[in-house]
Amino acid sequence: MSYKIGGNRLLYKFGERLVERYKPTAITNPSCRLLNPFTLIVNFTVDNTEKYQIVLQGDYKERYKEVEDGAIDLPEKEMYAIIHDSQKIWFKKE
């Protein structure tokens, strides 16, 4: 499943070419894990090529007690909501 963020697709003709502006960003392969009781890491792919990460600080003690090796099971819908709401703190992985 993928999710698209932003962009109002606008097509216009420039001479003989059809130009697309403001293409939406496709988000795929979201995954998350708890690094410790206070840090949630969300990994995802943008436009099928670039890998990004979000690091969220918070109080995840209860969920951290329930998981093994930090592998938290969040529904995809919730992960996509986190990604959408945290666009300003995306970190590109290299």
Domain count along the chain: 1
Determine the structural domain holding residue 66 and report its residue range: 27-92
Residue 7 domain flag:
no
DSSP string, 7-65: ---EEEEETTEEEEESPPEEEEEEEEEEEETTEEEEEEEETTTEEEEEEEES--HHHHH
Do residues 20 and 9 lie in contact, with contact meaning Cβ atoms separated by under 8 Å? yes
Q: Which residue has the tokens 């979000």?
A: 54
Residue 18 domain flag:
no
CA-CA distance, 38 to 30, in Å (whole number)?
A: 20
Residue 13 has pLDDT above 70, yes or no: no
Residue 14 domain flag:
no
Residue 11 domain flag:
no
**pLDDT tens string 27-70:** 999 999 999 999 999 999 998 899 999 999 999 998 888 888 88
Per-residue pLDDT, 51: 96
Residue 71 domain flag:
yes
Residue 17 domain flag:
no
